[in-house]
Amino acid sequence: MAFVEKKLPADAPVVDKALNWVDSRFPLTKLWNDQWGKYYAPKNFNFWYIFGSLAMLVLVIQIVTGIFLVMHYKPDANLAFASVEYIMRDVPWGWLVRYMHSTGASAFFIVVYLHMTRAFLYGSYRKPRELIWLFGFAIFLCLMAEAFFGYLLPWGQMSYWGAQVIVNLFGAIPFIGPDLSLWIRGDYVVSDATLNRFFSFHVIAIPLVLLGLVAAHLIALHEVGSNNPDGIEIKDNIGPDGHPVDGVPSHPYYTFHDIFGVTVFLTIFSAVVFFAPEMGGYFLEYNNFIPADSLKTPSHIAPTWYFTPFYSILRATTSEFLFVVQAGVVAYVALIWLTTKLPQLLKIAIAAIALVAIAGMMPGALDAKFWGVVLFGGSVMILALLPWLDVSPVKSIRYRPDWHKYVYIVFGIAFVALGYLGVQAPSPIGERVSQVCAVIYFGFFMLMPWWSAMGTFKPVPKRVTFAAH
């Protein structure tokens, strides 16, 4: 087909002509309209729907401040700690850039956890949004990797011993484990080689993947359309103009809605950056103001707060707890055999896998350390299965049986309790509580195919619940 450029009148404004010139060569206007300008989003969004935009904002803050930090930072075990102090003391406004970056890391997780809570509440991961959820899950993994790799860079005590513990997690894998952790570290201990490769991952490898995933997350979202607090599909009800009657174009409506959210967020963010950048040791841990010492572990070592729910599960897995896990596996297989109509072959396969796992948990087989790592990894990975675990006939919590809300509250309490215990020093009572919470955490997900369909569901409205304001 021959190239045809739309003809604009000779007296058209220069801007229009320029845009027309570009649009004929690159779908600029089309991209804008598809992704935001004429993207029709449900009109009943509530405040839970601000966190996607905020996550985008924090991503930009992290990338921009990160670029400037790299200009002054030295990824060298002998120089790294001093170069961070140099940024803090000698680089003009360096302290601000660094505090924005360190606060941004915690802000990212706060925003993303709230973003995920929204998806939990309104079933935003359900069909047809499974891929949006999976891309989002991959983004969450990337964020965890970014946070972990980035935390080594200041080369403080917590950086060093945190990396030591996490890299050694891989050492628990049978047969290949010790060689694998050696391969990750590039040395027999966490050292300059480790610092350099973590720097490379933190500043280039993961951010590239992350940006790609964010693009995929948004393209998938704008393809299938946004969910909303009622959990109904606005595309099922198209108006005469060809757009959903319950939808409004993102621009200008959600542009201004989001700008308001951004101002509120930035107010809080700035308050933290200027008045409490360490946040009482939660955003920046005090032990990290001591240079890395390979001979001495700080007396209290804990990961930064956003990892602690999963970390608690790791800590809760003692050889005693494995008996509970074994009992849980037996009960779970029995439940599958007795209540599901899965093909016989699949049931046998599940039972066989369970049998191997139970044998592996026997005293003298694979030790508790390995199973701790399995449960730790499993507690994160199980999130990916959510779209297939939830079989409730309605998406939104609004139309679920009331007791479902208590299930979510109990899960939420268990998750927060795990997070709290993860920052505390190990104690016998804390260990018991985190074991109970770990059971609740896994129970919530593993039993979801059963409980999410139980109870009396409320009728779902045809149109979204919306009062003009």
Partner 1 sequence: MSIEKQVDSGRRGLLVATCAAGGVAGLATAGALVSTFQPSERAKAAGAPVEVDISALKPGEMQTTEWRGKPVWILKRTQEMMDSLKKTEDKVADPKSEKPYTMAMPEYCDKQTRSRKEHSDILVTVGICSHLGCSPSSKFQSGAQPSLPDDWNGGFLCPCHGSTFDLAGRVYKNKPAPQNLDVPPHMFLSETKIIIGKDEKGEA
Question: Binding residues for partner 1, per CB under 8 A?
Answer: 161, 164-169, 171, 178, 182-189, 191, 193, 197, 294-301, 314-315, 317-320, 367-369, 372, 425-427, 431
- Give the nearer residue to partner 1 in terms of CB position, either 45 or 149: 149
Rounded to 5 degrees, what angle do the CA atoms 332, 334, 340 make? 90
What is the Cα Rg of the chain in Å?
A: 25
Contact yes or no for 409/417 (Cβ under 8 A): no
Question: CB of residue 180 vs partner 1: minimum separation in angstroms?
Answer: 10
Question: CB of residue 287 vs partner 1: minimum separation in angstroms?
Answer: 10
Question: CB of residue 184 vs partner 1: minimum separation in angstroms?
Answer: 7
- Give the nearer residue to partner 1 in terms of CB position, either 50 or 302: 302
Question: CB of residue 161 vs partner 1: minimum separation in angstroms?
Answer: 6
- Give the nearer residue to partner 1 in terms of CB position, either 136 or 162: 162
Contact yes or no for 222/34 (Cβ under 8 A): yes
- Give the nearer residue to partner 1 in terms of CB position, either 183 or 274: 183
- Give the nearer residue to partner 1 in terms of CB position, either 41 or 206: 206
Q: What is the DSSP string of 425-451?
A: PP-HHHHHHHHHHHHHHHHHHHTHHHH
- Give the nearer residue to partner 1 in terms of CB position, either 117 or 318: 318
By C-alpha distance, which of 272, 305, 282, 318 is closest to 416?
A: 305
By C-alpha distance, which of 153, 169, 139, 132 is closest to 73?
A: 153
CA–CA distance, 438 with 442 (Å, rounded to integer)? 6
- Cα(first)–Cα(last) distance of the chain, in Å? 50
Question: CB of residue 299 vs partner 1: minimum separation in angstroms?
Answer: 5
- Give the nearer residue to partner 1 in terms of CB position, either 138 or 163: 163
Question: CB of residue 369 vs partner 1: minimum separation in angstroms?
Answer: 5
**E-strand spans in 28-169?**
40-42
Contact yes or no for 103/283 (Cβ under 8 A): yes
Beta bridge partners of 249: 40
Q: Which residues contact 45 (CB under 8 A, 6 or more apart)?
A: 226, 228, 229, 254, 257
Question: CB of residue 427 vs partner 1: minimum separation in angstroms?
Answer: 6
Q: What is the enclosing helix (H) or strand (E) of 150?
A: helix 130-152
